[in-house]
Amino acid sequence: MDKIIQTQFEKFHSTIKLDMDDIKKVIEKRDMLFEELRTYLKKKSEDEKKPLITFSTFNQGSYPMGTGVEPAFDEHDYDIDAGLMFNISKDDYTPLQVKTWVYEALDKQFRTVEWKKPCIRVQYQEDSLPKFHVDFAIYSSGNSNSDKKTYLAKGKPTLASSNNKWEEAEPKKLIDLVCDKYTDLKERAQYKRIIRDLKRWKDEKFHSVNGKPTGISLTALAYKGFKPYTKNAFTSEEEVDDFKACTEFVKYIISQFSWSGRISVTLPTPPGNDLFEKMTDDQCKNFKTKLESLRDSLAEASNEADPHEACKILKKQFGDDFPVPAKEQTAQSRVKAIVGTNESA
């Protein structure tokens, strides 16, 4: 693919990528919430005259994986996932008991605290729009359980008791698996760029939460089937081609749909659940249709001689943040390429 288009892919990624440094205020709020929970547990211990319950914290989700993206629209907010590793045995407390501690500790004015099945969410707003939220996933530490396994507290008060449970999980191992997929730095960087590109694409194409594939499902698909294109196939010299890598990854995802029209990919760590199980048949069909449209646009861009026109095609898929080089720039590039070819002949 034309070097100009590779440059546009890199510019696009630079615009949409989200690093921890970009959300310092969110991190400050998160750390403040950690302290509020510690204060709550200390008071609980003193009031009940029981041993202090402690926990450690860690980052989880797209930020430690290096696959976070900037919100695409004003109605989308920043989010951060935090793990709370409680030093308790799952046999001593129910998941709802532990989640209730977190809910009660953080449920204060000027914020909305919500029960979610896998977490407790703290939502902040600004000018009546969601500004950011912090999802607290709550765990029972493997060091406190007889089987040495870590468990996630799942459930909420409105669910049937059978849906409130401790579920085996390995959140830190998941981060390590994703981050260590490639040892080659060029391959690893491209792998994470393409995950971000596809995550921004799905934010552009799915404006409703219902039927929208999750970021972790795309990440799991990349972990399973992404192929890097960072070297020339014939000379083995460095030749980074995000366009090719993206095209082949999209084709791979489409190939994962079954004859019945569904797609499935499992989390590579416990509990190993199907990350598309909540999508209906119609939602899976819609996902495939949008992927096929992306595949066709990539093919159309590949056949376009002018990088300016090719990037206009890509912009329709990836959104306004995908840059289109000036017509004059691409025209000069084509003239140089033609002159170079004649000279070498």
Secondary structure of the chain: what % helix, strand, coil (to 5)?
A: 50, 15, 35
The answer to whether residues 76 and 131 touch, using CB atoms and an 8 Å cutoff, is no
**What is the C-alpha to C-alpha distance for residues 278 and 276, in angstroms, rounded to an integer?**
6
Q: Mean pLDDT of all residues in the chain?
A: 91
Helix (H) or strand (E) run with residue 254 in it: helix 242-255
Is residue 337's pLDDT more than 60?
no
Q: In the chain, what are the domain boundaries?
A: 20-174, 181-303
Least confident window among 137-141, 216-220, 274-278, 336-340: 336-340
Helix axes 3-16, 327-344, angle to 10 degrees: 140
Structure confidence at residue 197 (pLDDT): 98
Structure confidence at residue 41 (pLDDT): 98
What integer is the mean pLDDT of 227-239? 91
What integer is the mean pLDDT of 4-20? 93
pLDDT in tens, 74-113: 666 788 899 999 999 999 999 999 999 999 999 988 889 9
Band of pLDDT at residue 341, cut at 50, 70 and 90: very low
What integer is the mean pLDDT of 40-67? 95
The answer to whether residues 15 and 70 touch, using CB atoms and an 8 Å cutoff, is yes
pLDDT in tens, 155-191: 999 988 888 999 999 999 999 999 999 999 999 999 9
User: With pLDDT > 70 as the criterion, what percentage of the chain qualifies?
Assistant: 92
Which among 318, 288, 326 is positioned nearest to 301, based on CA atoms? 318
Record the pTM. Answer: 0.90
Band of pLDDT at residue 343, cut at 50, 70 and 90: very low
What integer is the mean pLDDT of 17-43? 89
Is residue 262's pLDDT more than 50?
yes
The domain over range 20-174 is classified in CATH as 3.30.460: yes
